Structure 1
Amino acid sequence: MPTRILPAVGDADAVRSVTTLLSQLPDAEPVAPVVDSTQLIDTLARLAAESVDELPEVVVVHERIGPVPALELIREVALRFPAVGVILVTSDASPGLFQAAMDYGARGLVALPLSYEELASRVQAVAQWSVGVRRHLGAGGDVFTGVGGSVVTVSGAKGGAGATLTAIQLALAAQASGRSTALVDMDLQTGDVASYLDVQFRRSVVDLAAITDISPRVLADAVFRHDTGLALLLAPAEGERGEDVTDRAARQIVSALRSRYEVVVIDCGAQLSGAGAAAVEMADRALLVTTPDVVAVRGAKRAVRMWDRLQIRKAEETTVVVNRHSRGTEIQPPLIQRITGTAVAATAIPANFKELQSVVDAGRIHELENKSAVKQALWGLAAELGLVKVSDAAQKAGRFRGGDRGSVSFRRRREG
Structure 2
Amino acid sequence: MPTRILPAAGDADAVRSLTTLLSQLPDAEPLAAVGDSTQLVDTLARLAAESVDELPEVVVVHERVGPVPALELIREVALRFPAVGVILVTSDASPGLFSAAMDAGARGLVPLPLGYEELASRVQAVAQWSVGVRRHLGHGADLSGGAGGRVVTVSGAKGGVGTTLTAVQLALAAQASGHSTALVDMDLQTGDIASYLDVRFRRSVVDLAAITDISPRVLADAVFRHDTGLALLLAPGEGERGEEVTDRAARQIVGALRSRYEIVVLDCGSQLGGAGAAAVETADTALLLTTPDVIAVRAAKRTVRMWDRLQVRKAEETTVVVNRHNRATEIQPALIGRITGTPVAATAVPANFKELQGLVDAGRIHELDARSTVKQALWGLAAELGLVKRPVTTAKGHGRMRGDRGSVSFRRRREAGG
Shift of residue 119 of structure 1?
A: 0.6
Shift of residue 48 of structure 1?
A: 3.5
Q: Which amino acid aligns with 1:48?
A: A
Q: Secondary structure at the match of 1:344?
A: coil
Q: Secondary structure at the match of 1:133?
A: helix
Q: Which amino acid aligns with 1:346?
A: A
Q: What's the counterpart of residue 302 of structure 1?
A: 302
Shift of residue 314 of structure 1?
A: 2.1
Shift of residue 341 of structure 1?
A: 2.0
How is 1:72-221 mapped onto 2 (pairs within 5 angstroms)?
72-138=72-138, 145-148=143-146, 149-221=149-221
TM-score of the superposed pair, with normalisation by structure 2: 0.91
Q: 1:398 aligns with which of 378, 393, 408?
A: 408
On the 8 A contact 1:224/1:233 being kept in 2, the answer is yes
- Give distance in 2, aligned partners of 1:90 and 1:348: 49
- Give distance in 1, aligned partners of 2:248 and 2:109: 22
How is 1:37-48 mapped onto 2 (pairs within 5 angstroms)?
37-48=37-48
Shift of residue 286 of structure 1?
A: 1.3
Q: Secondary structure at the match of 1:386?
A: coil
On the 8 A contact 1:156/1:162 being kept in 2, the answer is yes
TM-score of the superposed pair, with normalisation by structure 1: 0.91
Q: What's the counterpart of residue 373 of structure 2?
A: 373
Q: What's the counterpart of residue 350 of structure 2?
A: 350
2:241 is aligned with 1:231: no
Q: What's the counterpart of residue 414 of structure 1?
A: none
On the 8 A contact 1:177/1:392 being kept in 2, the answer is no
Deviation per CA, 1:93-125: give whole Å up to 9, x if none: 233322221221111111122100111121122
On the 8 A contact 2:346/2:414 being kept in 1, the answer is no
Shift of residue 52 of structure 1?
A: 4.5
Q: Which amino acid aligns with 2:26?
A: P
Shift of residue 178 of structure 1?
A: 1.4
On the 8 A contact 1:377/1:407 being kept in 2, the answer is no
Which stretch shifts more, 147-156 or 111-120? 147-156
Which stretch shifts more, 165-174 or 56-65? 56-65
Q: What's the counterpart of residue 332 of structure 2?
A: 332
Q: What's the counterpart of residue 315 of structure 1?
A: 315
Rate the CA distance shift 1:337–1:71 in 2: closer, same or farther, 3 A.
Answer: same
Shift of residue 253 of structure 1?
A: 0.8
Rate the CA distance shift 1:404–1:91 in 2: closer, same or farther, 3 A.
Answer: closer
Shift of residue 270 of structure 1?
A: 1.2
Shift of residue 323 of structure 1?
A: 0.8
Deviation per CA, 1:316-364: give whole Å up to 9, x if none: 2222111111112222222222222222211111000111112111111
On the 8 A contact 1:6/1:59 being kept in 2, the answer is yes
Shift of residue 212 of structure 1?
A: 0.7
Q: Which amino acid aligns with 2:214?
A: I
On the 8 A contact 1:291/1:324 being kept in 2, the answer is yes
Rate the CA distance shift 1:158–1:60 in 2: closer, same or farther, 3 A.
Answer: same
Shift of residue 151 of structure 1?
A: 1.3
Q: What's the counterpart of residue 264 of structure 2?
A: 264
Shift of residue 402 of structure 1?
A: 7.3
Q: Which amino acid aligns with 2:322?
A: V
Q: % of aligned pairs identical?
A: 83
Q: Secondary structure at the match of 1:343?
A: coil
Q: Which runs of 5+ in 2 are unaligned?
A: 394-398, 402-406
Q: Secondary structure at the match of 1:82?
A: coil
Rate the CA distance shift 1:109–1:402 in 2: closer, same or farther, 3 A.
Answer: closer
- Give distance in 2, aligned partners of 1:191 and 1:341: 28
Q: What's the counterpart of residue 274 of structure 1?
A: 274
Which stretch shifts more, 35-44 or 249-258? 35-44
Cα root mean square deviation, aligned: 2.3
Rate the CA distance shift 1:271–1:162 in 2: closer, same or farther, 3 A.
Answer: same
Deviation per CA, 1:1-56: give whole Å up to 9, x if none: 43322212232232222122112222323233223222322332344345544432
Aligned length: 406
Shift of residue 398 of structure 1?
A: 2.3
On the 8 A contact 1:152/1:264 being kept in 2, the answer is yes
Rate the CA distance shift 1:54–1:403 in 2: closer, same or farther, 3 A.
Answer: closer
How is 1:3-18 mapped onto 2 (pairs within 5 angstroms)?
3-18=3-18
Q: Which amino acid aligns with 1:165?
A: L
- Give distance in 2, aligned partners of 1:27 and 1:309: 40
2:242 is aligned with 1:242: yes
